[in-house]
Amino acid sequence: RLADGGDALLLRFTPADGYYLYRDKITLRLKNAPGIRATRPANAHWPKAEPYHDEHFGDVAVYFKPFDLRVPLQRHSAAAADA
């Protein structure tokens, strides 16, 4: 993760070979960062996911390859944090 200014983080997701991430199952949370909360990016800011039929969840959108995602932060404090 990298800071993207003071109001966002840039995250890189890297699924292991043979695995995939469900776009709608990804949750974001900061630990040990009082006064700062990660917010879910708007749908338009997510990279394009691949349609996939999963035997448990049906038709879903997944990521097979690494991708970067800019995660907006909601700050209630201007102090720096180590997240």
**pLDDT tens by residue, 12-21:** 999 999 999 9
Predicted TM-score (pTM) of this structure: 0.76
Place of tokens 């800019």: 70
Per the CB < 8 A criterion, the answer to whether 39 and 73 are in contact is yes
Does 83 score more than 70 pLDDT?
Answer: no
The structure tokens listed for 77 are 């404090």
pLDDT at 20: 96
**What is the per-residue pLDDT for 8?**
86
| Rounded Cα gap, residues 76 and 47, in angstroms | 28
Q: Is the pLDDT of residue 5 over 70?
A: no
**For residue 43, which phi and psi values (nearest 5 degrees)?**
-55, -35
Rounded to whole angstroms, the Cα distance separating 31 from 25 reads: 19
Smallest CA-to-CA distance from 49 within 63, 38, 36 is with: 63
pLDDT digits 0-9 by tens, 24-74: 999 888 888 888 888 888 888 899 999 999 999 999 999 999 999 998 888
